[in-house]
């Protein structure tokens, strides 16, 4: 027992007063007594006798300490079960939950039913979920139809399939606004032409569009918008080369392995003094096959790199030079087609039919550079050289000295010219990446439904266009919707646009 718990440390009371040791103990002494009682270092009787107090008093102090410990350790548990706020659960709020689960959380109808039963202890049928969405369609479709599409500069078009039926998709490259989402029975020129004519009633008049090599897509645009260029998507043109090069490299490795195996067999027979009857001919053939396979793989890889980095890249020579280089690559591939016709042949035919479409961006780039050359009174070659330089990584050691030379050459014009060329590079579109991204988002909804209808797609189109981006690699898009980016005007939350009052915490 510590010293201050001994009876000798209890302060003496004045003579004639009612003296008890328990009353004389201070808070610190009572706490120490309780701790010793809980720890069990001494018996209750021994502690009471030593301090001249009752056993009941010792037990009371121990009980107080135990209650304090229980309260301290149960504080975390009570915080977890503390009520944060209350929800006014109304039918209107439940309808919003259905829409949020279906559109925001990508839930199926039966998933919504299960959520209501598990989390809200509320029964709802699949038919009720369908009716709520159908009611939202009637509010969403007018917003899609009334949207002004005159702000679409470059449109991206594509086709995806669900249940064997094509879904025509169109989106603005700059704002990602989806202006076309239609399920059809066919994807021919007539169908595409009708849908594009309907979009023109909403002011759709882009400078150009971009898409893959779909025949119906391009023919339909030629019928509906004969003066608008449909650029080719460079991504689809470059995509066949990596698997082709891998196939040729694997075949070259097999030829190398065969040649090495035959050489080891020849050396083994010569060491044993055996005749290599017929083996010399096989070895000669394998040596030629190895040289041919390795050369073919290296040549195709080099041609693919030229196409990707020198011809279809944003930085590069003028349009006529790109066309000549493109024809050279196609001719070289065609010359090697007999060495692997089933792999090289399809690539050659695809490239041969798309040159003008794939290089349409380069033709427009030449026109834009010529316009800027007249504006700044500078040679086109100078602007092109600076434009190509600005596509190089700023950390690259070769950029600094060359940029310093342009600063000295252009003087005060350098900043304005540089900013203008940066904007030109941002606005030059070579690939339909936006539509591919949109397709990937659409598929996460499509897989939940075996059959798609125009009503469901109208609601989905409205939601995607009026839902704010929580994040983006382009900072100007964060916190805004595609509709706001397209028009430059703010709009209410998508639930409020459907006629609902959103829940707000006090």
CA distances from 291 to 44, 60, 297, 304, 342 (A): 97, 96, 10, 20, 20
Q: Looking at residue 473, what is its pLDDT?
A: 85
Query: What are the backbone dihedrals phi and psi of residue 415, each rounded to the nearest 5 degrees, phi first?
Result: -65, -50
Q: What is the pLDDT of residues 130-169, one digit of tens each?
A: 999 999 999 999 999 999 999 999 999 999 988 888 999 9
Is the backbone of residue 427 left (phi > 0), alpha (psi -120 to 50) or beta?
alpha
Q: Which of 20-29, 50-59, 111-120, 208-217 has the lowest mean pLDDT?
A: 20-29
Residue 123 has pLDDT above 90, yes or no: yes
Which of 3.40.1410.10, 3.30.420.10, 3.40.50.300, 3.40.50.720 is the CATH number of 143-228+433-497?
Answer: 3.30.420.10
- pTM above threshold 0.75: yes
What whole-number distance in Å separates Cα of residue 200 and Cα of residue 269? 79
Domain boundaries, the chain: 3-80, 143-228+433-497, 238-358, 360-427
Q: Which residue, 499, 497, 437, is CA-closest to 469?
A: 437
What whole-number distance in Å separates Cα of residue 435 and Cα of residue 251? 35
Q: Which residue, 434, 432, 426, is CA-closest to 482?
A: 434
Tell me the average pLDDT across 345-368. 93
Residue 74 has pLDDT above 80, yes or no: no
What whole-number distance in Å separates Cα of residue 167 and Cα of residue 164? 10
Tell me the average pLDDT across 281-286. 88
Q: What is the pLDDT of residues 297-340, one digit of tens each?
A: 999 999 999 999 999 999 999 999 999 999 999 999 999 999 99
pLDDT band at 7 (very low <50, low <70, confident <90, very high): very low
- Determine the 3-state secondary structure of 158 from DSSP: strand
Residue 15 has pLDDT above 70, yes or no: no
CA distances from 177 to 248, 317, 436 (A): 41, 33, 13
Residues 446, 439 contacting (CB under 8 angstroms): no
Q: What is the pLDDT of residues 368-406, one digit of tens each?
A: 999 999 999 999 999 999 999 998 888 888 888 999 999
Residue 13 has pLDDT above 70, yes or no: no
Q: Which residue, 351, 362, 358, is CA-closest to 328?
A: 351
Task: Look up tokens 């190895």; give the residue.
Answer: 290
What whole-number distance in Å separates Cα of residue 96 and Cα of residue 497? 12
Tell me the average pLDDT across 79-91. 81
Give the residue, 33 or 9, on which the prediction is more confident. Answer: 33
Provide the token pair at 381.
């070659």
Average pLDDT, the chain: 88
What whole-number distance in Å separates Cα of residue 170 and Cα of residue 191? 14
Q: Looking at residue 298, what is its pLDDT?
A: 96
Provide the token pair at 177.
């606004």
Long-range contact list for 366-371, CB < 8 A, 24+ apart? 366/318, 366/319, 368/424, 368/428, 369/424
Residues 139, 133 contacting (CB under 8 angstroms): no
CA distances from 278 to 259, 271, 281, 282, 285 (A): 15, 17, 6, 7, 11
CA distances from 160 to 133, 170, 425 (A): 23, 11, 29
Beta-ladder partners of 182? 168
Q: Looking at residue 452, what is its pLDDT?
A: 67
Residue 277 has pLDDT above 90, yes or no: no
Q: Which residues contact 274 (CB under 8 A, 6 or more apart)?
A: none
Give the residue, 7 or 418, on which the prediction is more confident. Answer: 418
Tell me the average pLDDT across 15-38. 74
466: Cα within 13 Å, side-chain hemisphere = 21
DSSP state of 500: P
pLDDT band at 1 (very low <50, low <70, confident <90, very high): very low
What is the distance, to the nearest Å, from the Cα of residue 424 to the centroid of all Cα atoms in its chain? 25
Q: What is the pLDDT of residues 226-235, one digit of tens each?
A: 989 999 999 8
Residue 206 has pLDDT above 80, yes or no: yes
């Amino acid at each position: 027992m510590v010293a201050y718990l001994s009876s000798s440390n209890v302060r003496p009371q004045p003579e004639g007063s009612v003296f008890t040791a328990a009353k004389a103990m201070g808070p610190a002494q009572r706490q120490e007594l309780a701790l010793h009682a809980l720890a069990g270092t001494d018996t209750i009787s021994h502690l009471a006798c030593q301090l001249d107090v009752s056993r009941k008093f010792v037990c009371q102090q121990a009980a107080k300490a135990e209650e304090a410990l229980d309260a301290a350790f149960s504080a975390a548990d009570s915080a977890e079960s503390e009520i944060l706020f209350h929800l006014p659960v109304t039918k209107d709020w439940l309808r919003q939950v259905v829409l949020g689960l279906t559109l925001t959380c990508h839930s199926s109808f039966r998933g919504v039913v299960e959520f209501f039963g598990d989390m809200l202890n509320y029964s709802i049928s699949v038919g009720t979920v369908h009716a709520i969405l159908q009611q939202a369609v009637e509010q969403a479709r007018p917003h899609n139809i009334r949207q002004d599409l005159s702000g679409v500069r470059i449109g991206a078009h594509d086709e995806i399939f669900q249940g064997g039926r094509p879904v025509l998709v169109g989106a603005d490259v700059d704002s990602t606004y989806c202006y076309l989402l239609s399920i059809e029975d066919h994807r021919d020129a007539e169908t595409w032409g009708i849908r594009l004519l309907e979009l023109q009633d909403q002011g759709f008049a882009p400078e150009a569009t971009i898409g893959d090599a779909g025949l119906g897509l391009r023919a339909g645009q030629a019928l509906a918008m004969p003066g608008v260029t449909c650029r080719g998507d460079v991504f689809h043109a470059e995509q066949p080369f990596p698997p082709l090069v891998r196939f040729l490299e694997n075949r070259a490795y097999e030829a190398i392995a065969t040649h090495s195996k035959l050489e080891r067999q020849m050396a083994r027979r010569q060491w044993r003094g055996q005749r290599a009857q017929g083996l010399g001919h096989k070895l000669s053939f394998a040596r030629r096959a190895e040289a041919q396979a390795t050369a073919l793989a290296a040549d195709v890889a080099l041609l693919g790199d030229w196409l990707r980095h020198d011809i279809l890249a944003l930085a590069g020579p003028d349009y006529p030079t790109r066309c000549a280089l493109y024809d050279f690559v196609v001719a070289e591939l065609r010359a090697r087609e007999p060495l692997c016709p089933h792999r090289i042949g399809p690539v050659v035919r695809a490239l041969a039919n798309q040159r003008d479409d794939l290089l349409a961006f380069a033709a427009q780039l030449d026109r834009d550079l010529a316009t800027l050359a007249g504006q700044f009174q500078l040679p086109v070659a100078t602007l092109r050289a600076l434009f190509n330089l600005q596509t190089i990584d700023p950390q690259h050691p070769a950029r600094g000295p060359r940029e310093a030379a342009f600063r000295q050459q252009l003087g005060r014009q350098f900043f304005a010219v540089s900013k203008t060329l940066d904007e030109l590079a941002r606005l030059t579109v070579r690939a339909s990446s936006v539509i591919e991204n949109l397709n990937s988002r659409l598929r996460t909804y499509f897989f939940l439904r075996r059959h798609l209808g125009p009503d469901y797609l109208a609601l989905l189109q409205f939601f995607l266009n009026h839902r704010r981006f929580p994040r983006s690699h382009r900072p100007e898009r964060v916190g805004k919707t595609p509709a706001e980016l397209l028009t430059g005007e703010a709009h209410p939350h998508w639930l409020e646009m459907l006629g609902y009052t959103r829940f707000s915490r006090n």
